[in-house]
Amino acid sequence: MTTTHALLVVPAGSSPDLTPLRELTTVRLVRPEDPLLAQALSDADGLVVWDGFDARIAQAWEAAAPQRLRWVHTSSAGPDRLLFPALRRHPSTLTCSRGVLDTDIAEYVLACVLGFLKDLPATVRLQGEHRWQHRETRSLAGRRALVVGAGSIGTEVARLFSALGVRVDGIVRSARPAVAPFGSFSGPETLADVVGDHDLVLVTAPLSESTRGLLGREVVRRMRPGTIVVNVGRGPVVDEDALLEALQERRIGGVALDVWTREPLAADSPWWDVPGALVSPHLAGDTVGFTARLELLLRDQVARFVAGEPLRHVVDKEHGYVTAPTVAS
């Protein structure tokens, strides 16, 4: 038997379709700028933060000190932006939208790597100049890739690349025996030692205290010449300045960044113009229809919540990553 709970939806950007949710429980939508947000938090059993994060949610949380709130959900695959201190301390269960965008993001990583290897930026440039310039490009098969962060996105990246003849190794929280599609697993403390054995460094790790700055200056220094780096995890996981210098000095072969330490990227950033860089505005997983899939997951989570069933994609709020399901009510 289901129980009706008060669900609060706070859209940091666009809003989800609330109609399917209202078939399950009572739903109230309050935007971050609404002065009633703090009171709405106090009156809610569940909170959905949709399409990003707004700092006013954290401010209202501190003002409301919500006692009855038992569940918080973010439409993001990575929960880091929602992990403000008061929420970390709060006993509510936090869930995220892990898994919904895995294939889309993995395809984007593959597209970036193939674009560099097949010299597509030069092909587009030469086409614009009406120049017929034959040249050789590089193969993907037979290369070695290092996936930094072997969660659901990293595993899908590994699956795609291994299917195309790439040996894929992973960096995980602690070393353990590898499972397919990975050839080996290493702990983060070994990253500087193993990075030079790989042609491709593919960053999919979420942001946490343990991953912040993980791909630092020493790791970049030890990359082999021609290395291609792609980051679809979180901007602060990599040292953008170190990568930029390596690219400018032609010590590595290409860098594709879809996530940035500061978003949006400043218009005067040198990243826009440096040869060998691919700049994209945090869109790797945003394919046609992705919002509908996020809404399907949300509806399933709400149905589980009101029925007192285990929720999916529960986040360990201390470490910032998904653990096993728990019951939220």
Quick check: 284 and 232 in contact, CB under 8 A? yes
Q: What is the C-alpha to C-alpha distance for residues 237 and 243, in angstroms, rounded to an integer? A: 12
| Average pLDDT estimate for 182-198 | 98
pLDDT over 80 at 4, yes or no: no
Q: How many CB atoms lie within 10 A of CB 89?
A: 8
- Per-residue model confidence (pLDDT) at position 216: 98
- Per-residue model confidence (pLDDT) at position 3: 64
| Average pLDDT estimate for 104-118 | 98
Element (H, E) at 292: helix 290-307
Half-sphere exposure of 302 (CA within 13 A, CB side): 27
Does the domain formed by 102-279 have CATH 3.40.50.150? no
DSSP of 151-167, one letter per residue? Answer: SHHHHHHHHHHHHTT-E
Quick check: 36 and 28 in contact, CB under 8 A? no
| pLDDT interval class at 102 (50, 70, 90) | very high
Element (H, E) at 55: helix 55-64
pLDDT over 80 at 228, yes or no: yes
| Average pLDDT estimate for 324-329 | 44
Q: According to CATH, where is 3.40.50.720 located in the chain?
A: 6-100+289-322, 102-279
| Average pLDDT estimate for 97-122 | 98
pLDDT over 80 at 324, yes or no: no
- Per-residue model confidence (pLDDT) at position 65: 79
| Average pLDDT estimate for 271-297 | 97
In 3D, which of 149, 125, 107 has the Cα closest to residue 276? 125
Cα first-last separation, the chain: 13
| pLDDT interval class at 327 (50, 70, 90) | very low
Burial of 91 by CB count in 10 Å (0-12 exposed, 13-18 middle, 19+ buried)?
exposed
| Average pLDDT estimate for 238-252 | 98
pLDDT over 60 at 308, yes or no: yes
Element (H, E) at 214: none
- Per-residue model confidence (pLDDT) at position 2: 52
* Amino acid letter for position 242: A
Q: What is the reported pTM?
A: 0.94
pLDDT over 60 at 311, yes or no: yes
- Per-residue model confidence (pLDDT) at position 290: 97
Does the domain formed by 6-100+289-322 have CATH 3.40.50.720? yes
In 3D, which of 287, 284, 290, 291 has the Cα closest to residue 108? 284
| Average pLDDT estimate for 242-267 | 98
- Per-residue model confidence (pLDDT) at position 215: 98
| pLDDT interval class at 328 (50, 70, 90) | very low
- Per-residue model confidence (pLDDT) at position 9: 98
- Per-residue model confidence (pLDDT) at position 326: 44
- Per-residue model confidence (pLDDT) at position 5: 87
Quick check: 113 and 89 in contact, CB under 8 A? no
Mean pLDDT of the chain: 95
Q: How much of the chain exceeds pLDDT 70, in percent?
A: 97
Residue pLDDT, tens place only, 44-101? 999 999 999 999 999 999 888 788 999 999 999 999 999 999 999 999 999 999 999 9
